[in-house]
Amino acid sequence: MKVAYLSDDRMTGGTVLEVKNLKTWFFTHRGIVKAVNGVDFALNKGECLCLVGESGCGKSVTALSILRLFDSPPGKIVEGEISYSGADLAKCPVEDLRKIRGKDIAMVFQNAQSALNPVFTIGDQIVEQIKTHMDVSKDAALQKARSLLSEMSIPQADRALKMYPHQMSGGMKQRAMIAMSLSCDPGILIADEPTTAVDVTIRAQIMHILGELKTNRKMSIIFITHDLSLVREIGDRAAVVYAGKVVEVAPVADILRNPAHPYTIGLIGCLPDISTELKRLPSIPGSTPNPIDIPTGCAFHPRCPKVMDVCRKVEPELLNISDVQAVACHLYDSQGSTK
Amino acid sequence: MNTNSIQLLHIRDLKKYYSVTAGLIPRPVGEIKAVDGVSLSINEGEVLGLVGESGCGKSTLGRTILRLEEPTSGDITFNGVNVVRLTKNGLRKLRSKVQIVFQDPDSSLDPRMTVGDSIEEALIVHDVKEPEIRAARVAELMEKVGLEAGFVERYPHEFSGGQKQRIGIARALAMNPQLVIADEPVSALDVSVQAQILNLMMDIKEEDGLAYLFISHDLSVVKYISDRVAVMYLGKIVELADKREFFQHPLHPYTEALFSAIASLRPSGKERILLKGDVPSPLNPPAGCRFHTRCHRVMQVCSKEEPELKEAALSHYVACHLYS
Amino acid sequence: MNKGLALFLKKITGPFYINRRLAKYYLDRLKKNKLSLAGLGFIVLLALVGIFGPLFVKDPQKSDFNINNLPPLGFSIQESVYDIKTDTFTTKVIAGRPDHPLGTDSKGRDMLAMLVSGARISLFVGLLATGIAIFLGTFIGVLSAYLGGWADNVMMRFTDVMMTFPFFLLLVLIVFIFGPSLAIIVLVIGLTGWTGAARLIRSEALSLRTRDFVTASKALGASDARVMFMHLIPNVISLVIVMATLSIPGVIMAEAALSFIGLGDPMSTSWGTILNAGQHSLDTAWWVAVEPGIMLFFTVLAFNFFGDGLRDAFDPKADI
């Protein structure tokens, strides 16, 4: 049975990126690391889709796969389709990808320190990005860089242009990186855990900026995180990733109120949510599987409180349980009892 | 809440400065005031949560208590003993009563030692001579933290992050300490594992009557585990209160901003408070109240005079001119 | 103290024999490097030859001028012999003999015997001098990194001075005063060759020192000595092993070079000494210089291959 895709047409019209059954495997001497093992989702125009999961679940590799930024031996997209603007990014030649990278689809990374080149000024790096994709003079590019830095609430943009990464604070670097990613006005922004390495107050600034980008520039954002509270803040829809597969997709409000997949339920449950008084935190026993050694059947079955016999043998497919919510779990398909 | 009021740890006006040198023949050119006049106390069996962002000095404070960093000035008293003046032997004894759990499970265990040996080290250092007694204690500790005793011969890289953190906790408990300084013990763990470790720490606290200094940047974790909460900013304590009072009536503007940054804590209807600029450098803290450059409720006096930590409500201390 | 030593050795070797999976992991990685294995094979062979060889060959010191300058087996050489009675030069062809398969030198000493005893000397010098150098280097490197501050500064400046020290001049001076000997060479190389190791080990120890497990050990109340021996040193040991392996060829070459220029013990039969003796008769008895040269070449190559393989095997980031 094929998956029904989640294009929630309540959003502002149309899918801009669609990932179907993506599998990115890494062939190492220790075995095959199935980092991404069947990911499906669609990104609509102007929405923020959150890829949620814990460490090692494959969400970062999914993002890297879209622009094919992972190391090519040993990694390889073994199956799947990434539809963007009429082309299949999984199969198209690298030159085509290069035209898209930075220009149509841009990426912001977790650790600004290692993503920025330490021997060039911020201004130089932004200008370089602009001139790679657009035929403009250096002055025009500098102007654009200056206005971008101001847009990011970086004070004294002129001075900032001449600064080196090590002269900037963590929050500033993160914002500079976002400015750089916006330099060619991309339609899609992939943000890979942009706030994990920064303090809470800086996080607030960054989330605010991302929110503004959505409203003012009408950008579509793929926001990768493990923090459900951020999902609640900025996400329109969320896709929960476990062991390289999407196990649940739904609008954020629905997923937080009525989570369907036992993993999602567990994840939400074990947040020491600040607004409730708890004597003891519920937790999920065991730990996330090693992508080199994924359990058979449903990857979550060893930890699932509602595990059934079929879960150990058959991998559940991602199927709609309502207009807008899809789950990959035998509790909801014809092979398990419906709940 | 535990009303046992035997005071275990008392810190008075503790300062830890690092001098910065420059030049061919190193000369001091400045000081990083990592901890700049902190006073607090922890009672037996209580958990004091210490919250702050990176660079505020909370980790340094934790380490200075154990004299892993030498205090520049101030008093630290543990069980009536003056920690600052302890010599080698006394320090060793202190380190059987006060222990520390680290943030990063990957670097807190020696990769070349079996986990059993790592846990046993404390016993060896403190002259528990008989190997059978040590082995028995190690096995007991492994089970106490939820790991099979048979795993003692394994190496750290064979365990997951959560398990390594459990081993770190077992190691800290080896000599039955009274106070454990937990330096961001769950920050590096996945959410589902965080919950497991927090539950474990709560259980152990109940069983053994331990006190914790629980250092974290995560308010939600602190809310779950603490009895009292203190907030640090640039080396100083800006607010200190009982948990319930703290979370219901935060007073200091910085605390307000911290709450506001977490969506679920934000008072409904209010806009998120965005602090201006970045955290100032500890080499050059602002004059007057250190927070005044970013404060959304700043007043004239704030740039001139440093506010003192004073009681603003019952057992609720705040260092802010708004309340003095 | 004995207990401590046993525990210390256990920490260093422990990971390899207790955790067979770890040992097997490193061994597997090493095995994939064929050159490295070839190097190891050569080294083992050389060691066997050096240790047991002298039992099976002739006495290398026995000179017999009747059979001097014999070529190796399978070669023959033309020699002009001056006959004093007839005042003529007659050309004779001298062929190699099976009882001196590698020929003899100008004094009639058997080449094979000399090379075999030379192997023993080279390995001995290599291991001993390297041992001294690595031991000193590790000690200074770890101590310097652990103590930090001015002690670190002082030790590193001392290291800098030692690095620039003209050890060659020192050697000449000592030889001038005490006369040449192998022991002197070993000592001088060992006592001056530790500087590179000290620096590398210090930088490795520096990064280890900031890791939490070192702080944890101190927090438990461990003494400085305990932290250094039980935590720092076992964790730099793989670096030390690799450095030692890669230093040995340098040391062997250094000894050979010194003997070659005459600073070594002329009575010994180290490869360098043989080379020294043979350099003048390259046209008449080329084998006297070429044979030790070949031995040096392959020995150095073998150690380098093996050392490279070891380093790659231990380095988790190397793509094997």
Are residues A50 and A231 in contact, defined by beta-carbon separation less than 8 angstroms?
Answer: yes
Cβ <8 Å between B100 and C216 = yes
Task: Identify residues of A whose CB sits under 8 angstroms from chain B CBs.
Answer: 54-55, 155, 169-172, 199-205, 208, 226-229, 232-233, 266-267, 270-275, 278, 280-285, 287-288
Of A155, A201, A271, the CB nearest to B258: A201
| Chains in contact with chain B (at least 3 beta-carbon pairs closer than 8 A) | A, C
Average pLDDT, chain B: 88
The pLDDT tens digits for A236-272 are 999 999 999 999 999 998 888 889 999 998 888 777 6
Tell whether the model's pLDDT for residue B1 goes beyond 50: no
Mutate to test the interface with B, among C207, C220, C223, C226 (most CBs of B within 10 A): C220
The runs of H, that is alpha helices, within B174-280 are 191-208, 219-225, 243-248, 253-261
**Sequential pLDDT tens for chain C (320 residues):** 455 566 666 555 555 554 555 667 778 778 888 888 899 999 999 999 888 888 887 777 777 777 777 777 777 777 777 778 888 887 878 777 777 888 888 888 888 888 898 888 888 888 999 999 999 999 999 999 999 888 999 999 999 998 888 877 888 888 888 888 888 888 888 888 899 899 999 999 999 988 889 999 999 888 888 888 888 888 888 888 888 988 898 888 888 888 888 887 878 888 888 888 888 888 878 888 888 899 999 999 999 999 888 888 877 666 55
Place of tokens 């989330």: A207
Sketch the domain layout of chain C as residue ranges: 32-69+104-314, 72-100
Name the pLDDT band for B19 (thresholds 50, 70, 90): confident
Q: What is the pLDDT at residue C63?
A: 77
| Contact between C188 and C264 (Cβ < 8 Å) | no
Q: Does B114 sit within 8 Å of C216, measured CB to CB?
A: no
DSSP character at residue C48:
H
What is the bridge-based pairing of β-strands B73-78 and B7-22? Answer: antiparallel
pTM of this prediction?
A: 0.81
Query: Across residues B132-141, what is the average pLDDT?
Result: 93
Residue B231 to residue B319: CA distance in whole angstroms: 10
B106: pLDDT strictly greater than 50: yes
> Could you give the count of Cα atoms lying within 13 Å of B268 in the half-sphere of its Cβ?
1
Task: Report strand pairing: A48-52 vs A220-225.
Answer: parallel
> Which residue in B163, B192, B263 is closest to A54 by CB distance?
B192
Per-residue pLDDT of A282-296, as tens digits, reads 778 887 888 888 888
Of A204, A272, A287, nearest to B261 by CB-CB distance is A204
- Which residue in B261, B267, B253, B257 sits closest to B298, CA to CA? B253
Query: In DSSP terms, which residues pair with A238 in a beta bridge?
Result: A50, A250
What CATH architecture applies to the domain C32-69+104-314? Orthogonal Bundle (1.10)
**Predicted pLDDT of residue A272:** 65
The answer to whether B153 contacts C18, with C-beta atoms less than 8 Å apart, is yes
* DSSP category for residue A101: B
- Among A148, A191, A230, smallest CA distance to B272 is for A230
CA distance B225 to chain A (A): 9
Per-residue confidence (pLDDT) for residue B2, from 0 to 100:
45
> Residue C216's closest chain B neighbor by CA?
B108
- Cβ–Cβ gap B171/C220 under 8 Å: yes
Q: Distance between the two ends of chain A, CA-based, in angstroms?
A: 20
**What average pLDDT does the segment B295-321 reach?**
89
Q: Residue C20, SS3? A: helix
Cβ-nearest to A272 among B53, B54, B223: B223
Give the per-residue pLDDT at C14. Answer: 52
Among B6, B101, B96, which Cα is nearest to B46's? B6
HSE at residue B40, side-chain half, CA atoms within 13 A, is: 31
Identify the pLDDT of residue B305: 87
- The reported pLDDT for the residue numbered B269 is 60
Quote ipTM for the complex.
0.84
What's the CATH number for B7-323? 3.40.50.300
Mutate to test the interface with A, among B56, B58, B190, B217 (most CBs of A within 10 A): B190
CB A339 within 8 A of CB A331: yes
Specify the pLDDT at position A338.
Answer: 47
* Short-list C164, C112, C87, C151, CA closest to C269: C112
Q: Enumerate residue ranges in chain A where pLDDT < 50.
A: 1-12, 275, 336-339
Q: How far apart are CA A338 and CA B7, in angstroms?
A: 57
Are B108 and C212 in contact by the 8 Å Cβ rule? The answer is yes
Tell me the nearest-neighbour CA distance from C23 into chain B, angstroms.
12
CA distance B191 to chain A (A): 7
